[in-house]
């Protein structure tokens, strides 16, 4: 193994790798673009496919462009930044079509042209940055930045990122300097000691509000007052800052809210004229401006009218259900996350919406509750996590038999699986519209419409 061979790149796979064929065997390559002839190192060989790494480009693709980011070669974020944006859109749509065919068995589903993002850069409203100790560089040496490509345990020191905003870049640099100047310890993933673990920046792209979350290990916050005073002085536009504690060894940027350091402890974002509260742990679509187009399209596809009782499954903070409430008779939202449901109820109050009710619990259990069991729902909005619908939730949805289902997905593979189950249960998949929510990455969002077939 580890032999170097020439290879012609012919396509891009759903996971972002490029694809070629070596002696008839499909070969997935880290690097390379369609139309390029390259040299690759075969890292692993299996019965039906190879894994390889790009060594050298022999012939460059006309689709290749110069990435603008100084960290492109090591960052795990914008792995398609070297691919022209119109070709990113082309390949993403083709991947939706291929996934529907190979996983769902669909050959003739109408797939619209992909809707491009209104912004190709500085579109994200949330970013997570990791603190990481560098024991080999000195007792107090550390970095603050993002994960290296393909490395869960290696962080590079971020200088400039083109995903969120100039403010976020300045804030990362400022917090890095302050942590060093104030001698605030950095959490060590190996020894499980130290304080600062993550920083999270959330922005309301349509409201201008900004929240800083500092995630730490256990213990008192050293130099807390000095740090926060410095942040407020340097960034008067900052709306709020919070302190979150993660005492577990699990390396995630979540935990228990310990203290609101200043401001209200949340920000608000505006979508389709409605304001939504975003707390430190809230899920919210990360491309605010494309989310408006996504939700507008989903509501149009649903054709909601004044007699409809809308069912919003995996509703989170209630965004799409509340955006459709003015056109509906009633909205019922369900999510297993109690905090998200509390936020959804609050969002209904903030927007003066009185015809929406939100319930916390598993979809199957809530929908079997006597208050809801015999309700007639139509349409149903479905926006599950990447894993797709839980089988029991899908079963209960089919039992509820809404005439129209609008399924929003961030994972074409699990969508294709669920779409096949819905069609087997008597639904027709009428339309699929891909959306580019994450330019320069391989990730794809889509919205679709299912209709129950007449008996």
Domain ranges of the chain: 4-64, 93-118+277-452, 126-270
The string of pLDDT tens digits covering residues 241-280 is: 999 999 988 888 888 888 999 999 999 999 999 999 999 9
Instruction: Give residue 224's pLDDT band: very low, low, confident or very high (50, 70, 90).
Output: very high
**CATH architecture, domain defined by 126-270:** Beta Barrel (2.40)
Give the per-residue pLDDT at 137: 74
Residue 217 CA to residue 11 CA, distance in Å, equals 44
Q: Report which of 393, 186, 376, 203 is spatially closest to residue 284, judged by C-alpha positions.
A: 203
- Segment holding 176, helix H or strand E: helix 166-181
User: For the domain bounded by 93-118+277-452, which CATH number is listed?
Assistant: 3.40.50.150
Instruction: Give residue 150's pLDDT band: very low, low, confident or very high (50, 70, 90).
Output: confident
Within 13 A of 196's CA, how many CA atoms are on the CB side?
29
- Average pLDDT estimate for 44-50: 92
Say what the alpha-carbon torsion angle 382, 119, 176, 219 is, to the nearest 10 degrees.
Answer: -10
- Average pLDDT estimate for 322-334: 97
Buried b (16+ CB within 10 A) or exposed e, 353-367: beebbbbbbebbebb
Instruction: Give residue 151's pLDDT band: very low, low, confident or very high (50, 70, 90).
Output: confident
Residues annotated catalytic, as ranges: 410
Reduce the DSSP state of residue 58 to 3 states and report it: strand
Q: What tokens appear for 376 in the block?
A: 């007639």
Pick 253 or 106 by higher pLDDT: 106
Same fold yes or no, 4-64 and 93-118+277-452 = no
What are the start-end ranges of the E strands in 366-444? 380-382, 404-409, 427-435
pLDDT over 90 at 373, yes or no: no
Q: Please list the alpha-helical segments (H only) found in 325-411.
A: 338-350, 363-367, 391-400
Asked if residue 347 lies in contact with residue 278, where contact means CB atoms within 8 angstroms, the answer is no
Give the per-residue pLDDT at 391: 95
- Average pLDDT estimate for 309-335: 96
* 4-64 is classed CATH 1.20.1250.20: no
Categorise residue 270: left if φ over 0, alpha if ψ from -120 to 50, beta otherwise: beta
Q: How buried is residue 258: exposed, middle or buried, by Cβ count under 10 Å (0-12/13-18/19+)?
A: middle
Q: Which pTM value belongs to this model?
A: 0.93
């Amino acid at each position: 193994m580890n032999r170097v061979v020439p290879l012609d790149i012919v396509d891009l796979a759903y996971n972002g790798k490029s694809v070629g064929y070596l002696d008839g065997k499909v070969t997935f390559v880290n690097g390379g673009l369609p139309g390029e002839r390259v040299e690759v190192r075969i890292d692993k060989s299996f019965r039906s496919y190879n894994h390889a790494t790009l060594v050298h480009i022999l012939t460059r693709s006309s689709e290749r462009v110069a990435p603008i980011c100084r960290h492109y070669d090591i960052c795990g974020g914008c792995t398609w930044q070297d691919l022209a944006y119109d070709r990113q859109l082309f390949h993403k749509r083709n991947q939706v079509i291929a996934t529907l065919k190979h996983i769902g068995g669909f050959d003739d589903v109408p797939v619209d042209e992909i809707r491009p993002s209104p912004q190709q850069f500085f579109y994200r409203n949330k970013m997570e940055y990791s603190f990481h100790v560098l024991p080999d560089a000195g007792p107090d040496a550390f970095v603050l930045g993002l994960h290296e490509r393909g490395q869960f345990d290696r962080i590079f020191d971020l200088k400039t990122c083109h995903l969120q905003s100039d403010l976020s870049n300045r804030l990362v640099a400022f917090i890095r300097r302050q942590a060093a100047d104030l001698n605030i310890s950095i959490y060590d993933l190996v020894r499980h000691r130290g304080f600062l673990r993550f920083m999270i920046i959330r922005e309301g792209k349509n409201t201008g509000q900004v929240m800083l979350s500092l995630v730490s290990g256990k213990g008192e916050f050293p130099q807390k007052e000095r740090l926060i005073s410095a942040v407020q002085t340097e960034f008067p536009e900052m709306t709020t800052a919070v302190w979150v504690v993660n005492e577990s060894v699990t390396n995630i940027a979540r935990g228990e809210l310990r203290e609101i350091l200043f401001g209200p402890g949340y920000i608000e974002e505006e979508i389709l004229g409605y304001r939504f509260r975003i707390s430190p742990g809230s899920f919210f679509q990360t491309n605010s401006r494309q989310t408006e187009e996504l939700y507008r399209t989903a509501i149009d596809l649903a054709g909601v009218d004044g007699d409809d009782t809308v069912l919003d499954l995996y509703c989170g903070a209630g965004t799409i259900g509340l955006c459709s409430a003015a056109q509906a008779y009633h909205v019922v939202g369900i999510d297993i996350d109690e905090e998200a449901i509390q936020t959804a109820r609050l969002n209904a109050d903030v927007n003066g919406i009185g015809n929406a009710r939100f319930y916390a619990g598993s979809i199957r259990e809530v929908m079997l509750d006597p208050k809801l069991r015999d309700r007639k729902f139509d349409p149903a909005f479905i926006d599950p996590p990447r894993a797709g619908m839980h089988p029991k939730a899908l079963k209960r949805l089919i039992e509820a038999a809404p005439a129209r289902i609008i399924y929003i997905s961030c994972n074409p593979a699990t969508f294709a699986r669920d779409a096949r189950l819905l069609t087997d249960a008597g639904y027709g998949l009428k339309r699929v519209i891909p959306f580019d929510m994450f330019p320069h990455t391989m990730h794809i969002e889509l919205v679709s419409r299912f209709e129950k077939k007449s008996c």
